[in-house]
Structure 1
Amino acid sequence: MPDDWLAANRANWDGRVPVHVASEFYDVDGFVAGGEPLRDFELAEVGDVKGKSLLHLQCHFGQDTLSWARHGATVTGLDFSRPAVEAATGLAGRIGADTARFVVSDVYDAVSALDGRRFDIVYTGLGALCWLPDLTRWARTAAALVAPGGFLYLAEFHPFADVLAEDGRTVEYDYFHNEATVWDDPSTYTDGELAPTAPAVTVEWQHGLGEVVSALVAAGLRIEFLHEHDFTVFARFPVLEHHGVFRFPEGRPRVPLMYSLRASKPA
């Protein structure tokens, strides 16, 4: 594992913040006007959050976090990028989410950064786990942040999709690959590229579904459900068709592209 993985990833995400805030992909003005970035299945599976405390780990610049606030939760967002937290705080001000709180911290240090506070709901959204080398430590941290009787909710891209070739038609990569992958790429997933001065190097890890579930169970959480979804939220492969979400064409074998789970802590 590269010794500088955390510094490299933080610097890269610091550089992504202004690009993402200005992007059509995130459509900040549309969000301020009332747009809903949370997916329908997330809203249904998390359920009513009114009056509940919710912590969003790896929250980026806070759109999903603040959406939960709009649905009635008292929210805290945590991210290791200070520019992201500053942007999230500014966005909270724009929509009048006066009780929303954002904290700068690496996810592994979240318990101390939040002074041992516990939450009714700990939420982790799409594209978060690939930035973490140690899921056992992540699960222990997340479990420590869940209040008794509360739950962790995770929505993620399914690791099976990572074995498919870029055309989405054949199996090309190793599902059980567990070494760090280092990328040197100035592009980002929104409609733009990083500034020339922004660091382009990132370090990522692939985590199988069994690894995720086993880590959470070992941390003392009880899996309530694990749902695998045959759709995704972006054009991961050129063969996918867009009908509100992205799916393989009708008539061809389906594979899981996303998953979601809910894991509770005994009261």
Structure 2
Amino acid sequence: MTIKNRKFYTDANRASWEEVAPRHRSSNQEELLNAVRASDFNALHKEFVETLNLIDIKNKNVAQICCNNAKDLLSVIKLGARSGVGVDASAGFIDQGREIINAAGHQDDIKLIVSDVYDLPKELEGQFDIVMTTVGVMSWMPDLPAFFQIINSLLKPGGHYVVEEMHPVLLMYEAGDKGASRPMYSYFKDDPWKDTDGLDYFGHVEYESKPSYSFQHKMDDILMAGINLGMRLKHIREIGHDISNFCMDLQHQEAKPPLGINLIFEKPA
């Protein structure tokens, strides 16, 4: 994939996320501003906390790529990490994140940056003990090997990339007219989805939106993107309940697919 094509997709997706940012603000910003003031605020799923506990996060420098409003990064700081940097392409969500961090009193511990993930500031390279991504990142990446190269470049030797993500199998499904999700797409789909129904994953309200593009990355694509860089896969966990607000009914089906994954990659020391 050429850089020109990659930038077409990332520019389009950034515009789509900027468009939905005010909708997300109206849905949950005030509630978050109140919630983050609690010393025990934690927006992370239980399994992801358990995965983070497999490595030592105390007093570590953490980066979150595609951080959205940074509530997950704030949660890791509250769990004991020393400092954090969050990166997102959407200025609208970074603005919401700064409000949340200020409300929590952690503005001295967390820095937020607006940037395309494929064009991060060079001064971030080699600065982090932990890089993390949480649900709904990899499917937006038009070039997954290059994405892993970016992650790897941010880590110190011996650092860890910690992943929480929708399971790749889940992207085979689409919600039906009566809410019953069913498989509609090949697991081996190699062309992007184009969506103009909007990105309101809180209210699930469809609206005519700017186009966004997402991509199917198989499990072997994800694992080999790290392994091919010499990263060691230390942990994998599959999750059988909804963590993404996508096709939520599947968790109640008797023949349910895997719905989420947690991974830990280690950069060679």
Q: TM-score, normalised by structure 1?
A: 0.87
What corresponds to 1:86 in structure 2? 95
Q: Please show how residues 42-53 of structure 1 align to structure 2 within 5 Å.
A: 42-47=48-53, 48-53=56-61
What corresponds to 2:217 in structure 1? 207
Aligned counterparts of 1:75 and 1:211: Cα–Cα separation in 2: 28
Superimposed CA distance per residue, residues 154-198 of structure 1 (whole angstroms, 9 cap, x where no aligned partner):
1100111222353556533100002121111235112275998xx
Per the TM alignment, residue 109 of structure 1 is displaced from its structure 2 partner at its CA by 1.6
Matched residues, number: 256
Greater helix share, 1 or 2? Answer: 2
What corresponds to 2:162 in structure 1? 153
CA RMSD after TM alignment: 2.4
Moved more, 20-29 or 73-82: 20-29
> Which residue of the other structure, out of 135, 148, 173, is the alignment partner of 1:139?
148
What corresponds to 2:230 in structure 1? 220
Give the residue type in structure 1 aligned to 2:233: I
Per the TM alignment, residue 26 of structure 1 is displaced from its structure 2 partner at its CA by 8.7
Per the TM alignment, residue 77 of structure 1 is displaced from its structure 2 partner at its CA by 0.2
Per the TM alignment, residue 207 of structure 1 is displaced from its structure 2 partner at its CA by 0.7
The question of 1:5 aligning with 2:13 is answered no
Gap regions ≥5 residues in structure 1 = 241-246
Contact 1:184 1:202 in 2 (8 A): yes
Gap regions ≥5 residues in structure 2 = none
Residues 181 and 170 of structure 1, relative CA distance in 2, 3 Å threshold: closer
> Which residue of the other structure, out of 165, 170, 191, is the alignment partner of 1:179?
191
Moved more, 186-195 or 2-11: 186-195
> Which residue of the other structure, out of 37, 46, 67, is the alignment partner of 1:40?
46
Aligned counterparts of 2:7 and 2:157: Cα–Cα separation in 1: 36
Per the TM alignment, residue 232 of structure 1 is displaced from its structure 2 partner at its CA by 1.5
Aligned counterparts of 2:219 and 2:111: Cα–Cα separation in 1: 31
Q: Please show how residues 1-267 of structure 1 align to structure 2 within 5 Å.
A: 4-24=8-28, 27-34=31-38, 35-47=41-53, 48-73=56-81, 74-97=83-106, 98-110=108-120, 112=122, 114-167=123-176, 170-186=182-198, 188-191=200-203, 199-233=209-243, 236-237=246-247, 239-240=249-250, 247-249=251-253, 252-267=254-269
Residues 166 and 193 of structure 1, relative CA distance in 2, 3 Å threshold: closer
Per the TM alignment, residue 2 of structure 1 is displaced from its structure 2 partner at its CA by 8.1
Per the TM alignment, residue 235 of structure 1 is displaced from its structure 2 partner at its CA by 5.3
Aligned counterparts of 2:204 and 2:187: Cα–Cα separation in 1: 30
Task: Indicate the SS of the match to 1:4.
Answer: helix
Aligned counterparts of 2:49 and 2:142: Cα–Cα separation in 1: 28
Task: Indicate the SS of the match to 2:161.
Answer: strand
* % same residue: 25
Superimposed CA distance per residue, residues 236-267 of structure 1 (whole angstroms, 9 cap, x where no aligned partner):
33644xxxxxx234xx2342110110000122
